[in-house]
A = this chain, B = another copy of it.
Amino acid sequence: MSKIPPPLNPPRRTLLGPGPSDVAPSVLLAMAQPTLGHLDPAFLLVMDELALMLRQLFGTKNECTLPMSGTGSAGMETVFVNLLQPGDRALIGVNGVFGMRMAEVARRCGAEVVEVSGEWGRAFTPDDFTRAAAGQKFKLMALVHAETSTGVLQSMDGMRDVADACGALLAMDCVTSIGGIAVQVDQWGIDAAYAGSQKCLSCPPGLAPVTFSPRAADVIRARKTAVQSWYLDLNLILSYWGGERAYHHTAPINMLYALHEASRLALEEGLPEREKRHFKNGRALVAGLENLGLQHRVPESERLPQLTAIAIPEGIDDGTARSFLLNEFGIEIGGGLGPMKGNTWRIGLMGAASTPANVALCLAGISKLLEPR
């Protein structure tokens, strides 16, 4: 017997977790525009416009800048499978879930990984990498700009010099930073970066913008072994996104409409203005949480404005508390991961969700939650 559920009727939430974030109405509407074919000249124009906007969001002139057809983790995998060949050495900063994931993905490419271990909730210094490198050479050095699992902002100051000393390409995870705070791929000397659509760009999840410097693109073109993932093989994909428009896989048309509109909104606001907004609302949230007696997990100078990691107060059960916020206020906040599971909340004010109204709503909800019952 066939079982058919009723049509969807998702409840309205305010998404204040680590992503996805609230999506602007015009982005949802762009996504609902009629589907075009992936080789339609009208769609090729959308691709060109989108690539141009992604370059601005990444702060780069890199020709090789495009959205991969998967979520942020597919973007991560794209960087590692294309740049690493079996036996290559990679130096990877691990101070949260996404650093761990980078190391795991690199190992699955057959790379020899040296992990730079850092405390969860703290940023790295360039010296941390220099010490871990111990004078050896590496093909790739990688770190996370905005650690979604801990709320840490990683400064890129000095990292290019360390990579140069190791003879390494420099890769950066900016899934949670792009569209929220400054991302300056060219200025910082980044060779490869990947992002996600669903954090500060406030587009639904499903796309992973990536960018590669000319030098990194040369490394990919000069590979002696085939990229282990056919789906993520840039040597093939660039025939579609580049000049030839050769069919590789069917592009996720409507998701690309959404990212086009979300990118437009970010650039129309202006990236410096957008960053100011994220800092202003982030500070207001932290001040309010401190007023309620809550403790930040990250030292002030290393905090992401768009993602606040806060210690769950004694006597409050994580699951019960988050269910209360969701059911009573329609607010989603995130729990902790790894060593922060059960003792940390992650509160996002990302993209369209970074508003004074959401700061007030979140503080009202948490205040209610902390009332003695």
A146 to chain B, nearest CB (A): 15
B residues within 8 A CB of A258? 254
**Chain B residues, CB < 8 A from A134:** none
Flag whether A147 is at the interface (Cβ < 8 A): no
Is A261 in contact with chain B by the CB < 8 A criterion? yes
Residue among B8, B26, B231 making CB contact with A261, cutoff 8 Å: B8
Determine if A135 is an interface residue (Cβ-Cβ < 8 Å): no
Q: Taking A37-B332, A70-B69, A267-B2 as contacts, is the C-beta distance between A253 and B20 under 8 angstroms?
A: yes
Residue in B31, B226, B326 whose beta carbon sits within 8 Å of that of A108 in the complex: B226
**Does A321 interact with chain B (Cβ within 8 Å)?**
no
Q: Give chain A interface residues in 242-257, CB to chain B under 8 Å.
A: 247-255, 257
| B residues less than 8 Å from A251 (CB atoms) | 71, 205
Residues of B within 8 A of A264 (CB): 4-5, 7
Q: In the complex, what distance in Å separates the CA atom of A81 from the CA atom of B251?
A: 21
How many residues does chain A have at the interface if contact means C-beta atoms less than 8 Å apart?
83
In the complex, identify which listed stretch (A10-18, A123-131, A184-192, A291-299) lies at the interface while the others stay far away.
A10-18
> Within 8 Å of chain B (Cβ to Cβ): is A182?
no
The answer to the question of A181 belonging to the interface, with a C-beta cut-off of 8 Å to chain B, is: no
Q: Find A73's partner among B12, B23, B43, B249 (CB 8 Å cutoff).
A: B249
Contacts of A19 in B (CB 8 A): 250
A15 shortest CB reach to chain B, Å:
6
A257's nearest neighbour on chain B, judged by CB, is B8
Binds B, one of A48-56, A153-161, A166-174, A354-362: A48-56
Most buried by B among A8, A12, A53, A198: A8
Which of A3, A10, A71, A264 counts the most B-chain CB atoms under 10 A from its CB?
A10
Decide: B73 and A231 in contact? CB cutoff 8 A: yes
Q: Which residues of A in the span 107-141 have a Cβ within 8 Å of any Cβ on B?
A: 107-109
Is there a chain B Cβ closer than 8 Å to A29's Cβ?
A: yes
- Interface majority SS (helix, strand, loop, mixed), chain A: loop
Residue of B nearest to A41 (CB): B326
Closest to A20 in B: B35
CB-contacts of A205-262 with B (<8 A): 205-206, 226-231, 247-255, 257-258, 260-261
A4-B53, A206-B255 are contacts. A229–B77 as well, Cβ < 8 Å? yes
A28 at interface (Cβ–Cβ under 8 A)? yes
Query: What CA separation (Å) do A71 and B67 show in the bound complex?
Result: 14
- The answer to whether A32 touches B35, judged by C-beta atoms less than 8 angstroms apart, is no
- Once the chains are docked, how many angstroms separate the CA of A230 from the CA of B73? 8
**17 further interface pairs, Cβ-Cβ under 8 Å (given A20-B35, A205-B252):** A2-B267, A8-B30, A13-B36, A22-B34, A22-B35, A23-B34, A28-B33, A31-B31, A35-B205, A37-B332, A69-B70, A77-B231, A101-B230, A196-B250, A204-B253, A206-B253, A255-B255
